[in-house]
Amino acid sequence: MVCTRQLDMGQVALDVQGLLDDPSYIAGTPDQNPLGQNVAPLSISVTAALLAQCVSFSVAPGGVGDPGPLQYVLSTHDLHHLDHSGRAGCLYEVVEPEGDLRQALTGVHVAAESARAMAAAMPWRIKVRRKLDDLLMQMIQGRG
C-alpha cells in the first residue's frame, strides 16, 4: 500500500504514537492538510468489498481472478484499478518475499502482548476443561 501511495508512513507513525486519538493534536493540525476521516462506521462497506474480492479470487469471473492493485475512493464510491508496475525505489516491494523476517512497520503492541501472555499463563484446569468441551462438541457434531 505504501508503494501504490495508498498509505502514508508518516500517518502510521502518528497513529502508533497515539496522536490521531488525541483531540488536542487533531485540533492543532493545519486545515490545508486534513487527516482522514474516521472510517469505522463504514466498516460494513469495507467488509463487503473484501468479500467481493475474495469471490473474485475464487471464481475468477471472465477468467481473471486477480484484478491487481485496487483503490476504493470512499468519497465518490468508485473502485479504481491502479496502474502499478513496480517501483525500483519502493523499499517494501523488494522485501515482500521475506514474510515475517521483513522489517516491522508498527512495533510492539503492548496490549496484544499482554493478552497473549495471559492466555499462555491460563491455569491447567481451564485448559483441560476447554479441551473436554472441544471433544464433546466434536462428538455431538459427528453424530448430528
User: Which CB contacts under 8 angstroms, 24+ apart, belong to 39-48?
Assistant: 39/74, 42/74, 45/74, 46/72
Whether 24 maps to a domain, the answer reads: no
**What type of residue sits at position 70?**
L
Q: Identify the domain containing residue 122 by its residue range.
A: 108-144
Q: What is the pLDDT of residue 144?
A: 47
**Residue 20: inside a domain:** no
Which ranges of the chain have pLDDT less than 70?
1-6, 30-42, 84-100, 102-105, 143-144
Looking at residue 18, its pLDDT comes to 79
- For residue 28, give the C-alpha cell: 492543532
Q: What angle do CA 70, 104, 56 make, to 5 degrees?
A: 25
Question: Cβ distance 111 to 44 under 8 Å?
Answer: no
Q: What is the pTM of this model?
A: 0.36
- Distances in Å between the alpha carbon of 35 and those of 1, 29, 31, 67? 17, 8, 9, 29
Per DSSP, which regions of the chain are E strands? 70-73, 78-81
What pLDDT, on the 0 to 100 scale, is given for residue 35? 53
- pLDDT computed for residue 66 by the predictor: 77
State how many domains the chain has.
1
Q: Would 11 be classed as within a structural domain?
A: no
> Is residue 140 situated within a structural domain?
yes
Residue 133: inside a domain, yes or no? yes
